[in-house]
Structure 1
Amino acid sequence: MAKLGLTDEDKPNHLTDVVGEKLERATGGLPDRDEPVPGPSPNPATNLIIHDILLRSAGRLSRMAVEKAVLGRQYGQQFAKDAVENRSLVHTLAAYGVTKVATKSVPGALIVGTGLALKVLFDRSQSRRKSRRQGNRTLRRQADPDGKI
Protein backbone atom coordinates (compact mmCIF):
# COMPACT_ATOMS: atom_id res chain seq x y z
CA MET A 1 0.00 0.00 0.00
CA ALA A 2 1.27 3.46 -0.88
CA LYS A 3 1.99 5.96 1.85
CA LEU A 4 -0.15 9.05 2.02
CA GLY A 5 1.65 12.36 2.10
CA LEU A 6 4.86 13.48 0.43
CA THR A 7 6.37 10.63 -1.61
CA ASP A 8 8.04 10.11 -4.98
CA GLU A 9 6.07 11.44 -7.95
CA ASP A 10 5.77 7.90 -9.34
CA LYS A 11 3.89 6.63 -6.32
CA PRO A 12 0.33 7.59 -5.38
CA ASN A 13 0.34 10.21 -2.65
CA HIS A 14 -3.33 11.09 -2.44
CA LEU A 15 -6.17 9.05 -1.01
CA THR A 16 -7.97 9.08 -4.37
CA ASP A 17 -4.82 7.74 -6.06
CA VAL A 18 -4.64 4.84 -3.64
CA VAL A 19 -8.35 4.03 -3.95
CA GLY A 20 -8.26 4.45 -7.74
CA GLU A 21 -5.30 2.09 -7.99
CA LYS A 22 -7.10 -0.54 -5.89
CA LEU A 23 -10.29 -0.18 -7.95
CA GLU A 24 -8.31 -0.54 -11.16
CA ARG A 25 -6.69 -3.73 -9.89
CA ALA A 26 -10.02 -5.11 -8.70
CA THR A 27 -12.00 -4.31 -11.85
CA GLY A 28 -9.40 -4.64 -14.58
CA GLY A 29 -7.63 -7.90 -15.28
CA LEU A 30 -4.84 -6.19 -17.22
CA PRO A 31 -4.31 -2.64 -15.90
CA ASP A 32 -1.35 -1.96 -18.23
CA ARG A 33 -3.33 -2.75 -21.37
CA ASP A 34 -4.32 0.23 -23.53
CA GLU A 35 -8.09 0.36 -23.31
CA PRO A 36 -10.03 3.49 -24.14
CA VAL A 37 -11.96 5.26 -21.41
CA PRO A 38 -15.49 3.84 -21.82
CA GLY A 39 -18.07 6.25 -23.17
CA PRO A 40 -19.90 7.45 -26.26
CA SER A 41 -16.94 9.17 -27.90
CA PRO A 42 -13.84 7.57 -29.40
CA ASN A 43 -11.88 10.43 -27.75
CA PRO A 44 -10.98 9.39 -24.17
CA ALA A 45 -10.61 13.05 -23.05
CA THR A 46 -14.20 13.76 -24.14
CA ASN A 47 -15.41 10.65 -22.33
CA LEU A 48 -13.60 11.76 -19.17
CA ILE A 49 -15.29 15.17 -19.32
CA ILE A 50 -18.68 13.51 -19.83
CA HIS A 51 -18.09 11.23 -16.82
CA ASP A 52 -16.96 14.19 -14.71
CA ILE A 53 -20.07 16.21 -15.55
CA LEU A 54 -22.37 13.25 -14.84
CA LEU A 55 -20.72 12.49 -11.49
CA ARG A 56 -20.74 16.12 -10.37
CA SER A 57 -24.38 16.52 -11.42
CA ALA A 58 -25.43 13.38 -9.56
CA GLY A 59 -23.49 14.50 -6.49
CA ARG A 60 -25.04 17.96 -6.55
CA LEU A 61 -28.58 16.62 -7.01
CA SER A 62 -28.21 14.11 -4.19
CA ARG A 63 -26.63 16.71 -1.88
CA MET A 64 -29.46 19.18 -2.53
CA ALA A 65 -32.08 16.47 -1.98
CA VAL A 66 -30.57 15.52 1.39
CA GLU A 67 -30.28 19.18 2.44
CA LYS A 68 -33.92 19.82 1.51
CA ALA A 69 -35.03 16.71 3.39
CA VAL A 70 -33.09 17.66 6.53
CA LEU A 71 -34.42 21.24 6.56
CA GLY A 72 -37.88 20.23 5.35
CA ARG A 73 -38.56 18.08 8.40
CA GLN A 74 -38.31 21.09 10.69
CA TYR A 75 -39.18 24.08 8.50
CA GLY A 76 -41.44 22.70 5.77
CA GLN A 77 -40.73 21.73 2.18
CA GLN A 78 -41.17 25.14 0.55
CA PHE A 79 -38.93 26.93 3.05
CA ALA A 80 -36.27 24.21 2.67
CA LYS A 81 -36.45 24.47 -1.12
CA ASP A 82 -36.02 28.24 -0.99
CA ALA A 83 -33.16 28.08 1.55
CA VAL A 84 -31.20 25.46 -0.41
CA GLU A 85 -31.75 26.91 -3.89
CA ASN A 86 -31.17 30.60 -3.03
CA ARG A 87 -27.62 30.31 -1.78
CA SER A 88 -25.32 33.08 -2.86
CA LEU A 89 -22.35 32.49 -5.13
CA VAL A 90 -20.01 33.48 -2.29
CA HIS A 91 -21.55 30.86 0.02
CA THR A 92 -21.32 28.18 -2.68
CA LEU A 93 -17.70 29.01 -3.54
CA ALA A 94 -16.71 29.12 0.14
CA ALA A 95 -18.21 25.67 0.73
CA TYR A 96 -16.47 24.36 -2.39
CA GLY A 97 -13.12 25.82 -1.31
CA VAL A 98 -13.32 24.38 2.20
CA THR A 99 -14.30 20.99 0.78
CA LYS A 100 -11.36 21.12 -1.64
CA VAL A 101 -8.93 21.88 1.21
CA ALA A 102 -10.42 19.10 3.35
CA THR A 103 -10.15 16.45 0.64
CA LYS A 104 -6.74 17.43 -0.75
CA SER A 105 -4.64 16.21 2.18
CA VAL A 106 -4.73 14.84 5.68
CA PRO A 107 -3.51 18.16 7.20
CA GLY A 108 -6.25 19.96 5.26
CA ALA A 109 -8.86 17.55 6.62
CA LEU A 110 -7.51 18.09 10.14
CA ILE A 111 -7.63 21.88 9.77
CA VAL A 112 -11.18 21.86 8.41
CA GLY A 113 -12.31 19.30 10.99
CA THR A 114 -10.80 21.35 13.80
CA GLY A 115 -12.50 24.49 12.49
CA LEU A 116 -15.86 22.73 12.38
CA ALA A 117 -15.37 21.37 15.90
CA LEU A 118 -14.49 24.86 17.17
CA LYS A 119 -17.62 26.28 15.51
CA VAL A 120 -19.77 23.62 17.20
CA LEU A 121 -18.13 24.35 20.56
CA PHE A 122 -18.68 28.08 20.05
CA ASP A 123 -22.35 27.51 19.18
CA ARG A 124 -22.75 25.33 22.27
CA SER A 125 -21.13 27.97 24.46
CA GLN A 126 -23.90 30.38 23.46
CA SER A 127 -27.30 29.93 24.98
CA ARG A 128 -29.35 27.34 23.10
CA ARG A 129 -32.11 29.86 22.40
CA LYS A 130 -29.71 32.51 21.08
CA SER A 131 -27.89 30.02 18.86
CA ARG A 132 -31.13 28.62 17.43
CA ARG A 133 -32.50 32.14 16.85
CA GLN A 134 -29.34 33.17 14.99
CA GLY A 135 -29.45 30.03 12.80
CA ASN A 136 -33.14 30.58 12.01
CA ARG A 137 -32.44 34.20 11.10
CA THR A 138 -29.66 33.13 8.71
CA LEU A 139 -31.89 30.51 7.09
CA ARG A 140 -34.73 33.02 6.64
CA ARG A 141 -32.37 35.46 4.94
CA GLN A 142 -31.06 32.66 2.75
CA ALA A 143 -34.60 31.55 1.81
CA ASP A 144 -35.55 35.08 0.75
CA PRO A 145 -34.93 35.37 -3.02
CA ASP A 146 -34.01 39.05 -2.54
CA GLY A 147 -31.81 38.32 0.47
CA LYS A 148 -28.14 39.25 0.62
CA ILE A 149 -26.80 35.98 2.04
Structure 2
Amino acid sequence: MSEELSREEVRRRVRERAGKPALPGPSENPATNLLLADIVIRIGTSFLRTGVEKAFLKNRYDPDTANAIVDNRSALRTLGAVAVAKFARKSIPGAAIVGTGIVGKLLYDSAKTRRANRRKGDTQLLEQAAEETHTPEG
Protein backbone atom coordinates (compact mmCIF):
# COMPACT_ATOMS: atom_id res chain seq x y z
CA MET A 1 0.00 0.00 0.00
CA SER A 2 1.56 3.25 -1.06
CA GLU A 3 -1.16 5.50 0.39
CA GLU A 4 -0.95 6.62 3.98
CA LEU A 5 -3.82 5.52 6.19
CA SER A 6 -5.69 8.09 8.22
CA ARG A 7 -5.81 7.72 12.01
CA GLU A 8 -9.52 6.94 11.79
CA GLU A 9 -8.88 4.13 9.29
CA VAL A 10 -6.15 2.65 11.51
CA ARG A 11 -8.45 2.80 14.55
CA ARG A 12 -11.30 1.20 12.58
CA ARG A 13 -9.08 -1.67 11.47
CA VAL A 14 -7.79 -2.18 15.02
CA ARG A 15 -11.39 -2.24 16.36
CA GLU A 16 -12.25 -4.91 13.77
CA ARG A 17 -9.55 -7.11 15.30
CA ALA A 18 -10.86 -6.57 18.84
CA GLY A 19 -11.77 -9.84 20.48
CA LYS A 20 -9.59 -11.88 18.13
CA PRO A 21 -6.47 -13.62 19.43
CA ALA A 22 -3.30 -11.56 19.49
CA LEU A 23 -0.93 -11.83 16.57
CA PRO A 24 2.07 -14.03 17.35
CA GLY A 25 5.47 -12.45 17.64
CA PRO A 26 8.21 -11.52 20.06
CA SER A 27 7.07 -7.90 20.30
CA GLU A 28 3.80 -6.19 21.11
CA ASN A 29 4.43 -3.85 18.17
CA PRO A 30 3.16 -5.45 14.95
CA ALA A 31 5.47 -3.30 12.81
CA THR A 32 8.47 -4.65 14.73
CA ASN A 33 7.21 -8.21 14.27
CA LEU A 34 6.83 -7.63 10.55
CA LEU A 35 10.37 -6.23 10.32
CA LEU A 36 11.76 -9.22 12.25
CA ALA A 37 9.86 -11.66 10.02
CA ASP A 38 11.20 -9.92 6.92
CA ILE A 39 14.79 -10.13 8.20
CA VAL A 40 14.47 -13.82 9.12
CA ILE A 41 12.94 -14.68 5.73
CA ARG A 42 15.68 -12.80 3.86
CA ILE A 43 18.43 -14.53 5.86
CA GLY A 44 16.85 -17.93 5.24
CA THR A 45 16.46 -17.20 1.54
CA SER A 46 20.08 -16.12 1.34
CA PHE A 47 21.28 -19.36 2.96
CA LEU A 48 19.04 -21.41 0.67
CA ARG A 49 20.23 -19.55 -2.45
CA THR A 50 23.90 -19.98 -1.51
CA GLY A 51 23.34 -23.67 -0.79
CA VAL A 52 21.63 -24.28 -4.12
CA GLU A 53 24.34 -22.40 -6.02
CA LYS A 54 27.09 -24.44 -4.35
CA ALA A 55 25.17 -27.69 -4.94
CA PHE A 56 24.97 -26.96 -8.68
CA LEU A 57 28.69 -26.18 -8.82
CA LYS A 58 29.74 -29.21 -6.75
CA ASN A 59 28.51 -31.49 -9.52
CA ARG A 60 31.34 -30.18 -11.69
CA TYR A 61 33.95 -28.81 -9.24
CA ASP A 62 35.37 -29.95 -5.94
CA PRO A 63 33.68 -28.40 -2.85
CA ASP A 64 36.49 -25.91 -2.15
CA THR A 65 36.43 -24.59 -5.71
CA ALA A 66 32.62 -24.36 -5.67
CA ASN A 67 32.74 -22.36 -2.43
CA ALA A 68 35.39 -20.04 -3.87
CA ILE A 69 33.34 -19.46 -7.03
CA VAL A 70 30.23 -18.48 -5.05
CA ASP A 71 32.14 -16.42 -2.48
CA ASN A 72 34.23 -14.50 -5.04
CA ARG A 73 31.37 -13.43 -7.31
CA SER A 74 31.54 -9.75 -8.26
CA ALA A 75 29.03 -7.23 -6.95
CA LEU A 76 28.04 -6.36 -10.53
CA ARG A 77 27.12 -9.98 -11.26
CA THR A 78 25.15 -10.23 -8.01
CA LEU A 79 23.28 -6.97 -8.69
CA GLY A 80 22.51 -8.13 -12.22
CA ALA A 81 21.01 -11.37 -10.94
CA VAL A 82 18.95 -9.48 -8.34
CA ALA A 83 17.67 -7.04 -10.97
CA VAL A 84 16.65 -9.79 -13.38
CA ALA A 85 14.93 -11.75 -10.60
CA LYS A 86 13.07 -8.66 -9.43
CA PHE A 87 11.97 -7.88 -12.99
CA ALA A 88 10.69 -11.44 -13.40
CA ARG A 89 8.90 -11.40 -10.07
CA LYS A 90 7.00 -8.15 -10.58
CA SER A 91 4.82 -9.14 -13.54
CA ILE A 92 3.73 -12.02 -15.70
CA PRO A 93 5.24 -10.45 -18.86
CA GLY A 94 8.51 -9.94 -16.97
CA ALA A 95 8.50 -13.58 -15.89
CA ALA A 96 7.77 -14.64 -19.47
CA ILE A 97 10.62 -12.54 -20.84
CA VAL A 98 13.12 -13.81 -18.27
CA GLY A 99 11.90 -17.40 -18.64
CA THR A 100 12.21 -17.20 -22.42
CA GLY A 101 15.73 -15.82 -22.05
CA ILE A 102 16.73 -18.66 -19.73
CA VAL A 103 15.28 -21.32 -22.04
CA GLY A 104 17.01 -19.65 -25.00
CA LYS A 105 20.35 -19.67 -23.20
CA LEU A 106 19.97 -23.36 -22.29
CA LEU A 107 19.11 -24.26 -25.88
CA TYR A 108 22.04 -22.18 -27.17
CA ASP A 109 24.46 -23.88 -24.76
CA SER A 110 23.12 -27.29 -25.73
CA ALA A 111 23.50 -26.59 -29.45
CA LYS A 112 26.98 -25.16 -28.90
CA THR A 113 27.99 -28.34 -27.05
CA ARG A 114 26.58 -30.52 -29.84
CA ARG A 115 28.48 -28.54 -32.47
CA ALA A 116 31.71 -28.76 -30.47
CA ASN A 117 31.30 -32.52 -30.04
CA ARG A 118 30.53 -32.92 -33.75
CA ARG A 119 33.70 -30.96 -34.65
CA LYS A 120 35.73 -33.04 -32.22
CA GLY A 121 34.41 -36.26 -33.78
CA ASP A 122 35.07 -34.97 -37.31
CA THR A 123 38.63 -34.04 -36.31
CA GLN A 124 39.24 -37.50 -34.89
CA LEU A 125 37.90 -39.17 -38.00
CA LEU A 126 39.94 -36.92 -40.32
CA GLU A 127 43.09 -37.57 -38.29
CA GLN A 128 42.35 -41.28 -38.44
CA ALA A 129 41.90 -41.06 -42.21
CA ALA A 130 45.15 -39.10 -42.60
CA GLU A 131 47.21 -41.70 -40.76
CA GLU A 132 49.30 -43.95 -42.91
CA THR A 133 47.57 -47.17 -43.71
CA HIS A 134 49.49 -50.06 -42.31
CA THR A 135 49.30 -53.22 -44.34
CA PRO A 136 50.35 -56.45 -42.76
CA GLU A 137 53.57 -57.72 -44.18
CA GLY A 138 53.50 -61.25 -45.37
TM-score bucket (shorter structure): 0.5 to 0.7
Name the count of aligned residue pairs. Answer: 100
Task: Tell me by how many angstroms 1:129 deviates.
Answer: 8.2
Cα distance 1:105–1:36, how it changes in 2: closer, same or farther (>3 A)? farther
CA displacement 1:4-54 (0-9 Å, x = unmatched): xxxxxxxxxxxxxxxxxxxxxxxxxxxx63666532222211111111110
Write out per-residue CA displacement over residues 105-142 of structure 1, whole angstroms, 9 at most, x where no aligned residue.
11111010111122122222324586xxxxxxxxxxxx
User: Which residue of 27, 33, 53 maps to 1:41?
Assistant: 27
Is residue 112 of structure 1 aligned with residue 82 of structure 2?
no
1:53-64 equivalent positions in 2, closer than 5 A: 53-64=39-50
Q: What amino acid sits opposite 2:79 in the alignment?
A: L
Structure 1 position 68 matched with structure 2 position 31: no
Gaps of 5+ in 1: 1-31, 131-149
- Which residue of the partner structure matches residue 69 of structure 2? 83
| Conserved 8 A contact 1:37-1:47 | no
Paired amino acid for 2:90 = K
What residue number does 1:102 align with? 88
Shift of 1:69: 1.9
Greater fraction helix: 2
Please, which runs of 5 or more residues in structure 2 have no aligned partner? 1-15, 117-138
* Higher-RCO chain (CA-CA 8 Å, sequence separation at least 6): 1
What TM-score does the superposition give when structure 2 sets the normalisation length?
A: 0.63
TM-score normalised by L of structure 1: 0.59
DSSP 3-state at the match of 1:39: coil
SS in 2 for 1:126: helix
User: 2:127 matched to which residue of 1?
Assistant: none
Matched residues in 2 for 1:37 and 1:92: separation?
36
State the shift of 1:88 in Å.
Answer: 1.0
Sequence identity of aligned pairs in percent?
47
CA RMSD of aligned residues (A): 2.3
Point out the structure with max Rg over C-alpha: 2
